[in-house]
Amino acid sequence: MPLPFEEVHEDENHTVGPPSTSADGYSNYGSFTIPEGADGKILYGTCSLFLGVDDWGSLEVRDSGGNIVAQVDLKENSQEAGDQGGHKYHTGVGGAQLPSGTYSWEVNQTNIDYDPEDANVSICNYKIDVVPTEPGGKEEPDSCPCEGDTCDESGGTPPSPSLARSGSGRSVK
């Protein structure tokens, strides 16, 4: 079965230095669309984000109304900053399940001035993947196969179909 929409894959590995300065920060942006299915059916995509930066950065996905719907926040944080206000290379992940619509993304990375300059590096690595959640769109989970709707999602096994139909009095806990 063909996928309901084309997968989205954006990634870049951007490095300056050493040496580098605060002028070597990086930013990029783009957009993607999760289309509607046949007869206006809402399709869903799983959006997965990765960001790795030296020193600070963020990766945000916004819906058409400008609301942040997925993000990785590695913005400047005084509690994590080193002696000169920077941070060694660090990474984060994020994501969300998104319905049909148009989305924009933006990545921003800042680099500090570090002494000595020849020991400073500016790094911004990011990856955005959006894949169909299920071929043909989101499917509702199967209803509970246990009699009396007693499943508690704890990972137990329901009775065999023959026992479930026979009403043997066996209970599932």
Domains and CATH numbers, the chain: 8-132 (2.60.120), 142-173 (no CATH)
Q: Whole-prediction pTM value?
A: 0.74
Average per-residue pLDDT in the chain?
83
pLDDT at 121 over 50: yes
Rounded to an integer, the average pLDDT of 161-170 is 39
Rounded to an integer, the average pLDDT of 10-26 is 96
Question: Is residue 165 within a helix (H) or strand (E), and if so which, with residue range?
Answer: helix 161-166
Tens of pLDDT, residue by residue over 59-109, are: 999 999 999 999 999 999 888 989 999 999 999 999 999 999 999 999 999
pLDDT at 151 over 70: no
**What one-character DSSP code corresponds to residue 161?**
H
